[in-house]
């Protein structure tokens, strides 16, 4: 019988943002939410007051006066996530990444080396807390579905194990809304049939469910009521893209401001690519206008890259035709897509490239930033005032050479 773990970080973005700020652990806190943007994440005290991710930051602050806002640190999110997945990889080679903060682990083959599934789950929880200073919840079950539901029940900072013999006893008392994959509309349709608990669902004739929800979905609901799930942990599941976006405090059509923000986002994406050991084959930009209409443009890079200047050069070229429209823009984003492993890809050098180029420099900047903090090395172009008045787009490649180095205060 398989032993599947579902490991989910607790309020991941908020936990990472607050891990070195213990004075805020009991306060209601949101991550993001600057100006007119949305709430990226909320810690548990904020959630208990009705705050949820995706809601308007203005509405959140109106709902909870005194709500604390902290800025997102995307580099820390990526670094902590990489550390967590390194822990998973030390346990088993059968890891399926669900997102930056969760994964399924098939530990069936690891029990002889590391003990029972519960002991492995407790090891993961303790190691994540010790190495990354955040907590996670672990669900253990004979199937992916049961493990996922169990991890939800374990939150926050807990572990729930469901044995094969105990699946029905675990699932049947739950409300149908607590099952993985059942959203609001499906729950409401089930309620109209008199189905409110998983036990009710288990007693419902399969034919009635198939008539109401269709042959495939109805059969799946009938199986899930008993924890039956034939899906296996998928090996080698990888992210295919990574991106960054920013909402302006004030809508603008100024190409200099927008070009500078494209540089900031390109730099952020490049750092994430290098941290994950990937290169992007394609660069795409996303432009959201003040009327909330959105335009996306993409182009294939000559050679897969994780260099900010190369990503920015393409992003600026993609934006240039849009700049002529002089429409006010609310948000810009840059994304690296069609990612490939950097150690499996040959990068074609340019004839004008020096022996040690921009990629080596940016790796050196990463190392300095890791040791002395992100503020120790910054691009001069990104230290300018956020709202400029000059016209025209900065020439491609101009800003990537402008880097300001601050001497660290200690050592």
* Under 8 Å between Cβ of 39 and 55: yes
Half-sphere exposure of 93 (CA within 13 A, CB side): 0
Task: Extract the tokens encoding 233.
Answer: 């942990």
CB atoms closer than 10 angstroms to residue 218? 19
Length of the chain: 411
Q: Annotate 268-303 with DSSP letters as a single string.
A: HHHHHHHHHTEEEEEEEEEEEETTS-EEEEEEEEEE
Q: What's CA 278's distance to the chain center, in Å?
A: 16
For residue 175, which phi and psi values (nearest 5 degrees)? -70, 150
SS3 content of the chain, % helix, strand, coil (to 5): 45, 25, 30
Task: End-to-end CA distance of the chain: give it in Å, rounded.
Answer: 55
Task: Report how far residue 33's alpha carbon sits from residue 46's, in angstroms, rounded to the nearest whole number.
Answer: 13
Task: Extract the tokens encoding 127.
Answer: 């190691």
CB atoms closer than 10 angstroms to residue 82? 15
* Under 8 Å between Cβ of 311 and 336: yes
Please identify every residue annotated as catalytic. 102
Strand (E) or helix (H) holding 248: strand 241-252
8 is in an annotated binding site: yes
Task: Extract the tokens encoding 267.
Answer: 């730099």
Residues whose CB is less than 8 angstroms from the CB of residue 88 and which lie 6 or more positions away in sequence, other chains included: 7, 95, 103, 105, 124
Task: Report how far residue 33's alpha carbon sits from residue 39's, in angstroms, rounded to the nearest whole number.
Answer: 5
Tokens 């739950």 belong to 174
Q: What's CA 277's distance to the chain center, in Å?
A: 16
Task: Extract the tokens encoding 190.
Answer: 């089930």
Annotated binding-site ranges for Mg(2+)? 8
């Amino acid at each position: 019988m398989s032993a599947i773990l579902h490991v989910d970080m607790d309020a991941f973005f908020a936990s990472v943002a607050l891990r070195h700020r213990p004075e805020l652990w009991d306060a209601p806190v949101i991550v993001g939410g600057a100006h007119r943007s949305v709430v990226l994440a909320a810690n548990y005290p904020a959630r208990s007051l009705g705050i949820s991710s995706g809601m308007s930051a203005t509405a959140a602050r109106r709902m909870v006066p005194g709500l604390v806002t902290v800025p997102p640190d995307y580099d820390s999110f990526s670094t902590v996530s990489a550390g967590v997945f390194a822990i998973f990889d030390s346990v088993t080679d059968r890891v399926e990444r669900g997102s930056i903060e969760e994964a399924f682990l098939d530990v069936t083959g690891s029990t002889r080396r590391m003990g029972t599934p519960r002991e492995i789950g407790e090891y993961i929880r303790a190691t994540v807390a010790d190495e990354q200073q955040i907590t996670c919840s672990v669900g253990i079950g004979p199937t992916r579905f049961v493990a996922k539901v169990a991890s939800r029940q374990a939150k926050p900072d807990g572990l729930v194990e469901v044995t094969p013999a105990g699946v029905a006893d675990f699932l049947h008392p739950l409300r149908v809304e607590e099952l993985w994959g059942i959203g609001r509309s499906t729950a409401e349709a089930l309620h109209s049939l008199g189905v409110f608990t998983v036990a009710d669902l288990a007693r419902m004739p399969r034919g009635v469910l198939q008539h109401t929800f269709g042959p495939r979905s109805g059969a799946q609901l009938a199986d899930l009521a008993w924890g039956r799930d034939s899906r296996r942990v998928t090996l080698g599941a990888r992210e295919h893209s990574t991106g960054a976006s920013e909402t302006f405090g004030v809508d603008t059509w100024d190409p200099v401001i927008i070009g500078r923000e494209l540089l900031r986002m390109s730099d952020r994406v490049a750092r994430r690519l290098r941290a994950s050991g990937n290169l992007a084959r394609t660069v795409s930009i996303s432009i959201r206008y003040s009327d909330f209409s959105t335009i996306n443009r993409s182009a294939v890079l000559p050679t897969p890259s994780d260099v900010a200047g190369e990503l920015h050069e393409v992003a600026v070229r993609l934006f240039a035709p849009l700049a002529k429209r002089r429409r006010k823009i609310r948000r810009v984003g840059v994304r690296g897509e069609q990612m490939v492993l950097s150690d499996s890809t040959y990068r074609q050098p340019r004839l004008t490239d020096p022996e040690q180029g921009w990629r080596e420099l940016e790796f050196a900047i990463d190392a300095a930033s890791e040791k002395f903090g992100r503020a120790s090395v910054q691009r001069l172009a990104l230290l300018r005032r956020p709202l400029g008045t000059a016209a025209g787009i900065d020439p491609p490649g101009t800003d990537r050479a402008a880097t300001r180095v601050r001497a660290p205060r200690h050592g």
